[in-house]
Chains A and B, each alone.
Chain A
Amino acid sequence: MTNALGLAKPRAPRRPAARRSNFELYSWLFMRISGMALVVLVLGHLFIMNILDGGVHRINFGFVAGRWASPFWQMWDLAMLWLAQIHGGNGLRTVINDYARKDATRFWLKILLYVSMVLIISLGTFVIFTFDPNITD
């Protein structure tokens, strides 16, 4: 009743009574919900950084200090960091599942992916919360 992927055929007369987990369903839903939030967060970020007030040419340490003085932009960046990492990481997990041919390759690529996600989320979160505008004083 199941194929190589362990999925029941859609029109199989009888499907296994209980599925093992709904993880893929939740991950599918998460991609869509986080996507909606990211439209505002990321497109807003790109607009502010690249278009407003001279765009990329006015970015420097003082500019970041001014923005992170406000809890609003700290929370904006924090939400964007976590959502983009989990959304993009989950997307990349799908991509790895699609293209890796050997189980060992797939396994190690995913380990690499998860390590990089933990690293980047931790680093980004740490930087937002420990930012010091007077770092050299």
Chain B
Amino acid sequence: MASTTATEREGTSRGGGTLYRGDLGMWSWVAHRITGVLTFFFLFAHVIDTALVRVSPQTYDSVIEVYKNPVVNLMELGLVGAVLFHALNGIRIMLVDFWEKGPRFQRAMLWTTLAVWVVVMVPGAYFMLERTLSDLFGGK
């Protein structure tokens, strides 16, 4: 296993197979788990709200109105941020597993992941919240 030779913490109590333990990578694992579970729970509700198109257009539209509420809009931003982190970090996990240099660069790739996340989320937040903010404060 390539990962055991690349770890910075070789020789810790569990015998050197720990790429992450106590390291920044451990927190990325925690965040990956939380974002994955969160998305799964959202999907449960989301498939049910979409299923309302089988009830009537009015029922669907009235529930979709909830998505346009300012507070819920902010939660959507959180969801998008969570999914984006999970996706980017998932790519990083695959590179660690399959790319021969992956384990050596896992930390650099984590910083890259976070940088890409910020670069996407800043304009993303602008476009997602634009309408809500102008409705609230734009005085129209």
Q: Interface residues, chain A, CB within 8 Å of chain B?
A: 10, 32, 35-36, 38-39, 42-43, 46, 50-51, 54-57, 59-62, 64, 81, 84-85, 88-89, 91-92, 95, 116, 120, 123-124, 126-127, 130-132, 135-136
Contact = CB atoms under 8 A, between A and B. Distances in A.
Contacts of B33: 91, 95
Interface residues of B, number: 37
Contacts, number: 101
Interface string B45-60: 0011011011011001
Interface of B: 17, 33, 36-37, 39-40, 43-44, 47-48, 50-51, 53-54, 56-57, 60-61, 64, 67-68, 73, 76, 80, 83-84, 87, 90-91, 93-94, 97-98, 124, 127-128, 131
B87 A38 contact: yes
A95 B127 contact: no
B54 A43 contact: no
A88 B53 CA distance: 24
What DSSP secondary structure best describes chain B's contact surface?
A: helix
Nearest to A125: B47
A50 B128 contact: yes
Interface of A is mostly: helix
A43 B43 contact: no
Given A39-B90, A57-B131, A127-B51, A92 B56 contact: no
A57 B27 CA distance: 35
